[in-house]
Structures are given as structure tokens and as C-alpha cells.
Amino acid sequence: MRNYYIAGNWKMHKTRAEAAALAQALVSQLKKGKHKYLVAPSFTALETVASVLKGSPILLGAQNMAAAEQGAHTGEVSVLQLKDLGVQAVILGHSERRHSYHEDDELINKKVKLALQHGLEVILCVGELLSEREAGKAEGVCEIQTVRGLAGVAAGDLSRVSIAYEPVWAIGTGKTATPEDADAIHAAIRRVVARLYGGAAAEELLIQYGGSVKPDNAAQLMAKEHIDGALVGGAALSADTFVPIALFS
């Protein structure tokens, strides 16, 4: 049976002091949590949050990373720098990186392989635009992004990869895919992974849902067969809203 994986993406929010306070609240309130947890602060708060999370079961994640180990890449942050701060996992291919910063599947795939090469876990994000869903292309878009995102990833490394399905039209809009619609896409992604890596690997893969997850819809979403957790955005910015999601049963 797959475990649930609840991750909080803080995006471009929180000063170091605010990030520390939130991390402290989560460490205290998730002590008895039975799921896998991660928080991903902004780069500027990673070291601060790392010190708060030390000794807790909550993983420290980064929201992105460069596709190169080091070099003349102004404004980028490398995998080596992230590891130096204690980062254990990285979110790659988030819809905001794809659509606001025009990262394509090839670039995202380079990042995925580099992160895995250096021992990090990866949350690979996939998802369709509203126009693509309305055109009946949702499954096809997610299949392409999954196949291209995992290109060249060895079967032995797949255990350090989770996939987050985030319908772009549901991120930060208050709209949420119905549990049935979300589960259908999760099942389609699992079939793609089964084709690439075999049925056993696909059954073990954790697939999170991301798209306006809130305390009042988390349990219904994660009750579905193929939904194995959540990548939480806005509701991750407060312990009052993140903890109920993280402690759902």
C-alpha cells in the first residue's frame, strides 16, 4: 500500500523570520503525523528553515534548481548549493515554471536527471491548461510531460521520484478538479509509468494532486484510489490550513 505524501510549496512568500515561525509550528503540530511531509520555502529561507526542521521527519525541499552543477548562470541556484543547505528534495516542472518562465520538457528533464544524480528526491509536476482540458487533451498533455520528464531516468532511481498532477486552471484560482476527474488523470499517469517501467513500479509510485487543495476537500481527494497525497500552495502558508490537510485520515 502506498503512503501519502503531503508537500507545502511556499512559493515567493515569507521572510526568514516568518518562514522560521511557520516551520516551528509545523514541527510541533505534525509530531504525530503518519504521512510523509515536505515544505519548500523560497531559496532565501532554506538555511533558516533547515535549522528548524533538523531532527524532525519533515523534509526540506527547494522550489526549483538550475540545469547545471555550476558556472556562469546569473540568478540561478545549483544542486550543489541546495545540498550544501540541507535540501533533500526539489520540485521541478511546476506550472509556473513552465508557463510563466517558459521551461520546456527538455530543460525540466535535465534538471530531473541532475537532481537524481546528486541523490535528491524529485517532485515532477505535470498538468494541462484549461484550453487543453476543454479540447479533450488533458490525458495526452500529462502523458507527454510524464514521458519527456522521465526520459533517461533509470528504473532504480524511480523510487526517488513522485509526480504531482496540477491542472493549471485550478492553481490559485479556488477551482479544484473533482475527485473523480483528478483520479482519472492520476490513473492515466500511472498507466504511462507502467508502460515505461512496469506495473510494480507504477503501483509504488506516489502521485500527488496539486490545485487549490484545502482542508475541506483534501480527504475527498485523497480517498481516491490513485491520489497519494497533495502538493499544497496557498493553504501551505499557514499552519491553520496546512496541518488539517497534513493530518487528514
Q: Pick from 187, 247, 42: which is nearest to 230 by CA?
A: 247
* Strand, coil or helix: 12: coil
CA triplet 19, 24, 30: central angle to 5 degrees? 120
Cα separation, 47 vs 90, whole angstroms: 15
Residue reference for cell 520538457: 105
**Burial (Cβ within 10 Å: 0-12, 13-18, ≥19) of residue 100:** exposed
Widest CA span of the chain, in angstroms?
A: 48
Cα separation, 24 vs 63, whole angstroms: 20
Cα separation, 13 vs 149, whole angstroms: 27
Residue of 35, 132, 166, 226 marked active site: 166
Residue of 35, 94, 186, 226 marked active site: 94
Catalytic residue status for 226: no
Catalytic residue status for 166: yes
Q: Are 14 and 45 in contact (CB under 8 A)?
A: yes
List, by residue number, the catalytic residues. 94, 166
